[in-house]
Amino acid sequence: MTNLLQVNSLSKTYGTHRAAHDITFELAEGTSTALIGPNGAGKTTTLSMLAGLVTPTSGSILFRGQPKPDIRASIGYLPQYPKFFPWMSALEFTEMAAILSGVEKRQALIEAKKTLEFVGLGDAMKKRVGTFSGGMKQRLGLAQAIVHEPELLLLDEPVSALDPVGRRQVMNLLKELQQKTTILYSTHILNDAEEMTDQLLFLRKGILVENGSLDDIRKKYANPRILIDFESNEEAEKFKELSPWTAEREKKQVAIDAVKEGVGTPEVLALLNAENLTIRKVELQTASLEDIFMKVVMEE
């Protein structure tokens, strides 16, 4: 894949506060990347620097190898809390955003209508934005970010303020956009990251502490355990006593650290069959993204 964006040693300080420090990563064209971290991790600062809204203290940003691309034409940006002119209609606002992003005036109205239809505001495009619900405003914010068909879409917590129905609708829109553009978005909703992400970037206190594909990170932090669910407490205890591997028991369940003990499911099943123990199920469990999040960005 061709690299669309290269970020090298990007840092931002405000006085003595280090909002972002020595952040380095690349975005391949046509991918979707999640920027993950707790509040105050530096996600918004990083996105703001990439969008050209905040000047880095040091470091560089290369877009297709160029240090100073036409940011407005190449990048679409949706802030976490988008602001609008309440007296404007959705169509007027989106058309204005298109013109400001380099779309010719004659084409801007056409693109605005098409984009509002895409985000589900076709029937409300002539209504004043001041009458919109929070979900409608989020859709309008997305419309202004994509009306000029940017190569890179930057989204700051795009669904965090939405109810479950609105969140699902916006997520479906983002999945469609994945087919057309490169996306970098911040989120603390880990299910979203699992659902539509090619790459994960973990931030902690302004530092990029981990990055890679979802599969690679899962393998690195998998911590696989063999979990055996017995029919009774007595059988669970008997297995623990007979087992050549160190096992932890909680009532009817016994867990074995597969890596630490160097054992796989076939060996466990062989012992269970030999001892004629009755079980409900045996499964190999790996760390969830939430487990990885807690380990990578919450632990010092």
CATH class of the domain whose range is 222-292: alpha beta
pLDDT in tens, 238-267: 898 888 888 888 888 888 887 777 888 888
Band of pLDDT at residue 182, cut at 50, 70 and 90: very high
Q: Provide, rounded to the nearest whole percent, the portion of the chain with pLDDT above 70.
A: 97
Domain ranges in the chain?
3-220, 222-292
> Is the pLDDT confidence value at 290 over 80?
no
pLDDT in tens, 124-181: 999 999 999 888 999 999 999 999 999 999 999 888 777 888 888 888 888 889 888 9
> Is the pLDDT confidence value at 13 over 90?
yes
pLDDT at 142: 94
Q: Where are the alpha helices (DSSP H) in the chain?
A: 43-50, 71-74, 90-100, 105-118, 134-146, 164-178, 190-196, 214-220, 233-242, 258-261, 265-274, 289-293
Tell me how far apart the alpha carbons of residues 26 and 9 are, in angstroms, rounded to a whole number.
11
* Residue 37 identity: G
Structural fold of domain 3-220: Rossmann fold (3.40.50)
Q: Are 25 and 175 in contact (CB under 8 A)?
A: no
> Is the pLDDT confidence value at 300 over 70?
no
Q: Provide, rounded to the nearest whole percent, the portion of the chain with pLDDT above 90.
A: 47
Q: What is the mean pLDDT of residues 65-89?
A: 86
What is the 8-class DSSP label of residue 296? I
